[in-house]
Structure 1
Amino acid sequence: MAKSNPYKRNIYALLMHIFGFILLLEWIIPLKDVTDTANLYVFVVFLFISFALSFLQILPLLSLFVHIGFMFYFIHILYMMENTFMSKSWFVFVWNDIKFNAGIVWAADWAGMTGMFRSILLFILLWLVSYLVIYWILYRKQMLLFVIFTITYVAILDTFTMYEGNGAIIRLIIVGLSVVGFVHLERLKEREGVYKSNRLLLGWGIPLVAIILLSATVGYLSPKAAPIWPDPVPFLTSIGNGDGPGAGSGVRKIGYGENDSRLGGPFVPDDTIVFEAEITRTHYWRVETKDIYTGKGWEASEGEQLDLDGGVNNQVSWLSDSVPTDPYTATLRMERTYPHINYPLGLTEVRADNAFFQIDDSMEKITSRDENGERIQLEEYTVQYNYPRYYIEELKGAEPGTGEESNEDFLNQYTQLPDSMPDRVRELAEEITSSFPNRFDKVNAVERYFRNNDFVYETTDVAVPTGNEDYVDQFLFETMQGYCDNFSTAMVALLRSVDIPARWVKGYTQGDFVDITDNSTRLFEVSNNNAHSWVEVYYPEVGWVTYEPTSGFSNPYRFVYQSAEENAGDNSGDDPLEQPDRPETDGSNQPELDPGEDQNDGAAAGGNSGLFQFSLKWKPVLIISTFLLATGIILFFARTKWMPFYYILRFKGKTDEKVFNLAFPALLRQLHAVGLIRKDGQTLRNYAMYVDNHYNTTEMQALTANYERVLYRGNPSEQEWEKSVELWENLIKKTSS
């Protein structure tokens, strides 16, 4: 079978690049509906650049720099507009983010990755997949499987999400069948040894496209029969409603509920929308906290109802004055009304027409009332709040026993555990935290424990403790599976076991992204499926800090080094990408959270941050190693471009008797590397004719004849090389073109 040539910049190659771009576009477009990904245009532009560089066949090294340049420029306009592009503060910010996420990846804590790092990974993925698509189309000539995967992907999203895939399916049928048809034509041409056949391309392509367009049009416009099979989605949903695993457990949870005295059993899915929220940045919605763990669930201490005069919260404070905050406003429109308010941490004011508000100072639950003091259900209200930035230096420097902890009643309230708590829970808490020097590291070790020890997020097959069984003990040592109530309650119990004040918080996650409003705010829908529980931990001189132990969920609040923020400039405004500092390894058997960190405290006092000083020690090594690795990869994949010039430098100026016997095999290797493969049993003369036909020359046959005179007749090698060196150089240069 004849060998096909590497693709050339012709109409066919351009058409295949366009088709490949459209196919990959169908993977990106649904992201705006099924995730909270915004600014999709930058990913589309980056994908277009990748396909354009591929079609133009830019040198690999230049293509690499162009891709990296555009990738980081797009990252800059998405996340770092406050910094000057490529400035020192810009590099510090990027370096800190990548270094933090390296630890997150190493710990397999995927939910903890920052948005900027996820965007970088998506850019790299698009870059690689665009290369693979072109490789499959133009080199392997196999595209059917990828088309099937793309159609399946769109169909699944159309079935199980809000994404409407009708138009995408039609586009995929037209483009997919066209690609498969043209690729099949190329395989036929390769098998028959036909390489110059523009008429064949037109004769095959025009009828193919016409038939596909006609079939798609008729299929779209023709009447459709009713479905033969029932919709599978209600059936699958019914499994979670009690017809599947976990049914009959006797305890079920549907959305938000007030009674938490007995936890366990399945969480029944419910898509009912509770409220719409118009927000500027995402956060959790609090409803209440509970402080008494009974061994089976949660109860709340009796509190006093305090008036919020004019809706201003001057009764409850979650943060100390030293915590930097940014003010925001959110508007909630209720689809299901309740007499309580959903609000973010740091609430300063709640406003609604003809409504008054009271807060329970124990549960921190805010209720709405009329002028007579009767509870009312609001359809719309606005909340103002302060969004916190937690500095890691302050969290690590928190002194136990100070602040509110100096009050014995406060400490007893938030470290309470039942006497029936099994000893192995306390022993596990000691094992996890004992090697860490401060509260921040201890809390992070407990939070990470669930992700590092095979705990599974499960909403249906969830056990209910019976008899003397403890809810936390059962989860930690027996089932190791459950949903947010299991994870959050277990974390509170573990922290309280080592005398760290913590409490259980209930409410909702941020919900599902819907759209960008005319005011440039984001609209989210919050349903009963978004009901959630999490943990708040008390830090003296800081206040209550949110933690998220549940597998698959990420903390909406971030932790940042104050020193890194000062180096990077003030990016506090709308930048949600402050980097949380979490332990990089399991704290149960590690002596330090970050062995090099404390050693740099003195350097930080000298004027530069400890973080930056620490990174300087190994940063050059990492940069050099990365540069050498990248250079090696580039040289390897571009070897057909530079190897000819290496051979020319090595052999052209030599005149000894061995040079011809080394240079000619080097040429054969280079021809083999560019696809001109010598078949088994093929003579040198026949192979030379094959090469000359490919390059439309007679130089290979002349060079081979000279080489055979040395090989078979014994002619002087030096003289034949002198006559052949120009032929050899011309041929080996052709392989790099």
Structure 2
Amino acid sequence: MRSIWNVIRFMAGEDGTKKWMALFVLLFLFQFTGWISREDGLWLPETLKAVNWTLITVCATFFIPRIHHLVRELLQIVLVLVVHAIVLQYRFVPMSQMDGPMEWFQANVSQLFPYLWFGLAAWWVFLMAMWASRSKLWISFIVILAILFFGVRDSFSTLQLWPQVAAVIFSGLCMLVVRHLSQLKNKAPESWKRLSDNPGPLIVPVVLIIALTLTLGALVPAVDPVLTDPYTAWRQYNGEAVTFLPSSDDSGRTMVQDPNDPLLKSSGYSRNDAQLGGQFQYDYTPVFTVDTTSRTYYRGETRALYTGSGWEASPADRRARQTSVDSSGKLPADSGIDMTKLKTEEVKQTVKMRSNEVYPVLFGAYPMSKVDIQEEGPDGTRSDPAQLGSLRWSARQAELRFNAKSNYPKQYELVSNIPLLDLSGLKKVDMSRLNRSEWNDYLQLPDRLPERVTELAKEVTKEAPSAYEKVHELELYLSSKYPYTNTPDVSKGKSKDFVDRFLFEIQEGYCDYYSSAMVVMTRSLGIPARWVKGYASGSSDNSRPAGIGNLRGGMSDPDAEGTYTVRNSDAHSWVEVYFEGYGWLPFEPTAGFSLPQSYAPETSAATEMPTPAPAETKTAQAKSGAAPWVRYVLYTLSGLVLLTAAAVTAIRLSSGKKLLPLLGRDPKAANYAQGVIQEVNRLLRYGRRKGYERFEHETFREAASRWMTQSYWLAGELSPVLAMFEKAKYSRSSVTEQDLEAVQGHVKRLREQMK
């Protein structure tokens, strides 16, 4: 026991209170990050990792001995930046690659946003918790608040948060014990010395009480709750049956939901699209990463048959010819599609799967022209032509299908020739000459499609002179008219047709609503269209950042090359429309999404397009640099931080005679004797706040005598201060620098004993 106690004393050192408090504050805050990690989609994994390591490094700085608090705080800020640079795989951008200092600064700083804000907030919370730990009252207050929070969240969710409550109580009690022992050491040093020399009478009863409590808690039989928790009571009040089962990892409870629960679904690549609609929850699980030469969408499958409820493969699609992929990996284009006027740009992509699921297709930029499946060998990555035999290429649908039930490729390379839009040429396409009998599958509409859907499509496009401009008007109308949400109010929908419900009743939704509506409206105008599903671009750590335009990805050029992480939350659907001479071209009607598009060299997208969609406007802003409001916010915040730091430094270091007295500070002493008197004046002001007051009729000697009678443990430090004060104020003897330093040491210890 004594050896353990000696280790504790050695670890504590001269500033042991702060070290122990930092450890228990870290344990306390870890309960909140642990809760956040179990909340679906609340934080991204990168954010959680950065915040956890921020808390650990900030805690570690309190174990550095004899360091000024300003130096420690500066070191903590530097460590926060280092942590985020490591977690986010920061890549330094040299000045030679930028046009100027401001662009260089943006290119380097933007890579850490918005994650850095979470890290700085965690740093601030840690410092506030350390400040609160100086008082038993504040410790009790924050612990009670944390218990209430976890208790309420546990009651109104399927999470099981009682382990967090237990850890919060444990850390809070430990902080109270540390604070009590610290005060005992300051106020009664002799008692503390006796206790440190012989800790057994204190430690043994505490250990026995804890052991007895845990033993009884483990042996006591479980008792069913008398009251129903609020979450279950609320659902039962609404007539919903709720059954809970223990989770597989004992981390929480699994709620057995009603199959009709609208939030039962979660985001991800769908296997069945026959019944669209409803609501879903975001799932941020990574699916794959892509190292690409340009940002793209990752196309999966297409659907042509609209049933009024959802999408299915048409009979022609089911009969479509599929060819085996040979050892060259080349994927021929559909010979039945006229693309003689289309210009393309080559994009290379390396896809690395991070999910063990087996998908029906391989994902990549549209249209694919070559595939190479790879495996990792002892000498690095190499091609594996044998696995190409599990692939089938459907040129009609431009789908690279995987026909096996297992061994889905973990890594593969794709070459795609993405379309370059020739806007002036597209506006001249005459779709009236199209042989409609050949395109029946892509013009199909249900017999019971409400007429008002067709009427709305004609109304929206009545001013557009060409087929391409009509399609663009539909894209713009849908993305600007209907708000995006993953939880649309489906109770508003009465129509039997999915698109009709969206356009005229629900009037809000997510990608499936927008894309289905655009395909149906486009077909109603006699223009071939098909529904496409896959993944949106994902988030990126851009290899060549140049601004702060895209906050999530930390890059200004949204179409830049780089490595993109694609998650289940990026599952998406969009539209492809056929134009004679150009083939199938993608369109993005979903509000808030930006489809990567490239333009032919002789065409300017800014001058040709009449009115860009909101998502396109954001893209244009990002390409030209950081969005103005983002830059202004960052500049303002940076300026405020610098001004605050400068002001605090000036106040702390200033020796002015006007400002400091207003703040309760004394001007700089003219000599050592004056310095002693100032130290005593500061002690008197501090003592008055702690209940050690000097009355108007008392001298300092009379007040000191009364204090030492009231609190005998002050005598050892107060007597030499009194003697030196009288020498400095009344004697002609000189006061040396050593005398002033001795008084300052005595006053510091007195302030600690007065707490």
Instruction: Provide TM-score, normalisation by structure 2.
Output: 0.55
- After TM superposition, the structure 1 = structure 2 runs for residues 3-14 of structure 1, keeping only pairs within 5 Å, are 10-14=15-19
Q: In the alignment, does 2:363 pair up with 1:328? A: no
User: How far apart are the structure 1 equivalents of 2:503 and 2:577?
Assistant: 23
Contact 1:141–1:186, Cα closer than 8 Å, also in 2? no
Q: In the alignment, does 2:92 pair up with 1:69? A: no
Q: In the alignment, does 2:370 pair up with 1:343? A: no
Q: In the alignment, does 2:277 pair up with 1:264? A: yes
User: How far apart are the structure 1 equivalents of 2:301 and 2:349?
Assistant: 23
User: How far apart are the structure 2 equivalents of 1:704 and 1:440?
Assistant: 90
User: How far apart are the structure 1 equivalents of 2:266 and 2:46?
Assistant: 36
TM-superposed deviation, 1:68? 2.6
Q: Residue 214 of structure 1: which of 211, 230, 237 is its match?
A: 211
* Structure-2 change in CA distance of 1:85 and 1:306 (3 Å): same
User: How far apart are the structure 1 equivalents of 2:139 and 2:344?
Assistant: 61
Q: In the alignment, does 2:157 pair up with 1:132? A: no
Q: In the alignment, does 2:689 pair up with 1:677? A: yes
1:480-507 per-residue CA deviation (whole Å, 9 max, x = no partner) reads 5555533554687899999999964335
* Structure-2 change in CA distance of 1:559 and 1:211 (3 Å): farther
Partner secondary structure for residue 118 of structure 2:
helix
Partner secondary structure for residue 305 of structure 1:
coil
The letter of the residue matching 2:718 is N
* Structure-2 change in CA distance of 1:97 and 1:310 (3 Å): same
Q: Residue 457 of structure 1: which of 471, 478, 486 is its match?
A: 486
* Structure-2 change in CA distance of 1:377 and 1:163 (3 Å): same
Aligned to 1:24: 29
* Structure-2 change in CA distance of 1:208 and 1:233 (3 Å): same
Aligned to 2:259: 241
Q: Residue 535 of structure 1: which of 571, 574, 586 is its match?
A: 574
Structure 1 vs Structure 2 CA RMSD: 7.3
Partner secondary structure for residue 59 of structure 2:
helix
User: How far apart are the structure 2 equivalents of 1:700 and 1:81?
Assistant: 58
Q: Residue 648 of structure 2: which of 612, 629, 634 is its match?
A: 634
TM-superposed deviation, 1:137? 1.7
Aligned to 1:421: 453
The letter of the residue matching 2:453 is M
Aligned to 1:143: 139
* Structure-2 change in CA distance of 1:386 and 1:368 (3 Å): closer
Contact 1:32–1:40, Cα closer than 8 Å, also in 2? yes
1:337-357 per-residue CA deviation (whole Å, 9 max, x = no partner) reads x8x335344664376759554
User: How far apart are the structure 1 equivalents of 2:680 and 2:476?
Assistant: 60
* Structure-2 change in CA distance of 1:731 and 1:223 (3 Å): closer
User: How far apart are the structure 2 equivalents of 1:472 and 1:680?
Assistant: 78
TM-superposed deviation, 1:24? 2.6
Q: Residue 47 of structure 1: which of 55, 76, 81 is its match?
A: 55
Contact 1:509–1:532, Cα closer than 8 Å, also in 2? yes
Contact 2:331–2:393, Cα closer than 8 Å, also in 1? no
TM-superposed deviation, 1:151? 7.0
TM-superposed deviation, 1:119? 3.0
User: How far apart are the structure 2 equivalents of 1:252 and 1:614?
Assistant: 35
Partner secondary structure for residue 126 of structure 1:
helix
Contact 1:256–1:531, Cα closer than 8 Å, also in 2? no
TM-superposed deviation, 1:624? 7.8
- After TM superposition, the structure 1 = structure 2 runs for residues 600-619 of structure 1, keeping only pairs within 5 Å, are 611=625
User: How far apart are the structure 1 equivalents of 2:144 and 2:189?
Assistant: 29
- After TM superposition, the structure 1 = structure 2 runs for residues 412-491 of structure 1, keeping only pairs within 5 Å, are 420-421=452-453, 455-458=484-487, 462-463=490-491, 465-467=493-495, 471=498, 474-475=501-502, 478-479=505-506, 482=509, 484-486=511-513, 489=516
1:103-135 per-residue CA deviation (whole Å, 9 max, x = no partner) reads xxxxxxxxxxx8x42431232122112112212
Partner secondary structure for residue 138 of structure 1:
coil
* Structure-2 change in CA distance of 1:168 and 1:470 (3 Å): closer
Aligned to 1:123: 119
Partner secondary structure for residue 263 of structure 1:
coil
The letter of the residue matching 1:534 is S
Aligned to 1:384: 412
* Structure-2 change in CA distance of 1:19 and 1:706 (3 Å): closer
State which structure, 1 or 2, has the greater radius of gyration over its C-alpha atoms.
2
Partner secondary structure for residue 506 of structure 1:
strand
Aligned to 1:505: 532
User: How far apart are the structure 1 equivalents of 2:639 and 2:22?
Assistant: 35
TM-superposed deviation, 1:95? 1.9
Q: In the alignment, does 2:106 pair up with 1:95? A: yes
1:61-112 per-residue CA deviation (whole Å, 9 max, x = no partner) reads 433432232222233334455437999869856624766xxxxxxxxxxxxx
* Structure-2 change in CA distance of 1:635 and 1:642 (3 Å): farther
TM-superposed deviation, 1:610? 6.0
TM-superposed deviation, 1:532? 4.4
1:584-615 per-residue CA deviation (whole Å, 9 max, x = no partner) reads xx9999998699x79xxxxxxxxxx9649999
Partner secondary structure for residue 322 of structure 1:
strand
Partner secondary structure for residue 384 of structure 1:
strand
Partner secondary structure for residue 505 of structure 1:
strand
User: How far apart are the structure 2 equivalents of 1:420 and 1:222?
Assistant: 70
User: How far apart are the structure 2 equivalents of 1:293 and 1:639?
Assistant: 74
Partner secondary structure for residue 533 of structure 2:
strand
User: How far apart are the structure 1 equivalents of 2:457 and 2:727?
Assistant: 85
Aligned to 1:314: 331
User: How far apart are the structure 2 equivalents of 1:245 and 1:649?
Assistant: 67
* Structure-2 change in CA distance of 1:66 and 1:423 (3 Å): farther
TM-superposed deviation, 1:686? 5.8
User: How far apart are the structure 1 equivalents of 2:397 and 2:57?
Assistant: 54
* Structure-2 change in CA distance of 1:622 and 1:236 (3 Å): closer
The letter of the residue matching 1:124 is L
1:277-322 per-residue CA deviation (whole Å, 9 max, x = no partner) reads 6767799875423467787655667544342422835146999753
User: How far apart are the structure 2 equivalents of 1:480 and 1:174?
Assistant: 51
User: How far apart are the structure 1 equivalents of 2:136 and 2:655?
Assistant: 21
Partner secondary structure for residue 231 of structure 1:
strand
User: How far apart are the structure 1 equivalents of 2:474 and 2:723?
Assistant: 76
* Structure-2 change in CA distance of 1:465 and 1:84 (3 Å): closer
User: How far apart are the structure 1 equivalents of 2:201 and 2:522?
Assistant: 71
The letter of the residue matching 1:214 is A
Gaps of 5+ in 1: 1-6, 100-113, 370-375, 432-436, 512-521, 561-585, 599-608, 655-659, 708-718
Deviates more, 1:586-595 or 1:204-213: 586-595
Gaps of 5+ in 2: 1-11, 229-242, 248-252, 374-385, 464-468, 539-562, 599-610, 709-713
- Seq. identity, %: 16
User: How far apart are the structure 2 equivalents of 1:641 and 1:204?
Assistant: 51
TM-superposed deviation, 1:44? 4.9
Partner secondary structure for residue 341 of structure 1:
coil
User: How far apart are the structure 2 equivalents of 1:44 and 1:252?
Assistant: 27
1:392-447 per-residue CA deviation (whole Å, 9 max, x = no partner) reads xx99xx6524479958469999999986337778989999xxxxx9x999989976
Contact 2:330–2:371, Cα closer than 8 Å, also in 1? yes
User: How far apart are the structure 1 equivalents of 2:526 and 2:744?
Assistant: 75
User: How far apart are the structure 1 equivalents of 2:361 and 2:615?
Assistant: 43
User: How far apart are the structure 1 equivalents of 2:267 and 2:637?
Assistant: 52
* Structure-2 change in CA distance of 1:334 and 1:428 (3 Å): same
